[in-house]
A and B are shown apart, each in its own frame.
Chain A
């Protein structure tokens, strides 16, 4: 019999580097008020230039299939993209769906990180908090789904 070896993500995972991958996961999966708050703060305190106002476009999804381990294109997903420049650093905001505001906010936050603004250090704590609540929410949803897990009973014949 094969043993249980699930990959899991842990609530006590914690700290570590707040790189772009992790940061964008939190800002997009979490409450969009967080991105708004960060971005509005930057817009108030720094001169910024909208290089590309939010626009719609496509992202082609590249996948790996599990039969032959090869790559193929699944299809496109609509995204909203915005670009903003702060201190000669162009930041990009990309998000699935039609979300002009969030795209712009993400672009501002991205350029803030690229320009190494001091605020970005102060955001870390808030981001970690939000990350935890996203994970809690996901675990809750998964727990609900696990109620539909089948408990097999072997029948005596």
Chain B
């Protein structure tokens, strides 16, 4: 059962914290009974339940069957399923092929100069998020720099960097993992690969 007041607000506070402190890992906890059958990470569906409502649209990026999850999200949150170039939220399920993600990355919304907020927010699943690793983050909300390790490939990071070039246009990302951890990378954050360039 969804307890909007307690669970969702706690999740929202954590997401907000992670979004304002890019690279800092938070763990989402809920009292939601695990009888709910969700074919995604707990951190993913908690984020979805917290951020989605009837006013937003979403698109799932996956190579597997995704009809059930689409239906479930729509039923629980009233959000609309939409094509990738219209979706307010893009959800990448774990195990999705790099090529599929790159294609979505290339076509998703990044806002326009009048309304930069009309951009897609990405929710990307990882097996494991690690604080400290090969990605160097810097920018607002980060003192000097911080490093993290994700499962997603370097070329996806490069594609993301490509799409945030023209600030204030760009995409914001929420990374989730199997251990209910989340980490955020807003469009203001610069990502550099260790030993490489942007």
Contacts and interface: CB of A to CB of B under 8 A. Distances in A.
Nearest to B35: A49
Contacts of B115: none
Interface in A43-81: 49-53, 55
A27 interface: no
Contacts of A90: 75
Contacts of A55: 4
B16 interface: no
Interface string B1-42: 111100000000000000000000000000000010000000
B76 A52 contact: yes
Nearest to B2: A52
B76 to A, nearest CB: 7
A127 to B, nearest CB: 26
Contacts of B75: 51, 83, 90
B179 to A, nearest CB: 25
B74 to A, nearest CB: 10
A53 B2 contact: yes
Interface in B63-103: 75-76
Contacts of A51: 1-2, 75-76
A90 B73 CA distance: 12
Interface in A76-122: 83, 90
B7 to A, nearest CB: 11
B99 to A, nearest CB: 34
Contact of A53 (B1, B35, B76): B1
A51 B36 CA distance: 9
Contacts of A49: 1, 35
Contacts of B3: 53
B1 to A, nearest CB: 5
Interface in B103-155: none
Contacts of B35: 49
Interface in B141-181: none
Contacts of A50: 1
A144 B1 CA distance: 47
A35 B145 CA distance: 60
Interface of B: 1-4, 35, 75-76
Interface of A: 49-53, 55, 83, 90
Closest 7 CB pairs of A and B: A50-B1, A90-B75, A52-B2, A55-B4, A53-B1, A49-B35, A53-B3
